[in-house]
Amino acid sequence: MTNPTPGRPQQPRDKETSTDSLPLAPSEDRRWATVSHFGAIAGFIPAMIIHYLFKDRGPFTAQESREAVNFTLPLTALMFVLMLLAIFIPGIGSIFSVALVVVWLYMTFSGIVAGIEVNKGRPYLYRFNMRLF
Q: Tens digits of per-residue pLDDT, 1-47?
A: 555 556 655 655 555 545 567 899 999 999 999 999 999 999 999 99
Helix 59-88, helix 93-119: angle, nearest 10: 170
Please give the Cα distance from 92 to 115 (Å, whole number): 35
Note the pLDDT of residue 128.
85
Handedness of CA 110, 113, 116, 121 (dihedral sign): negative
Please give the Cα distance from 33 to 8 (Å, whole number): 39
pLDDT in tens, 77-125: 999 999 999 999 988 999 999 999 999 999 999 999 999 999 999 999 9
Looking at the chain, the whole-number percentage of residues with pLDDT higher than 70 is: 85
Q: What is the pTM of this model?
A: 0.81
Which of 55, 56, 57, 74 shows the shortest CA–CA distance to 66? 55
Note the pLDDT of residue 7.
61
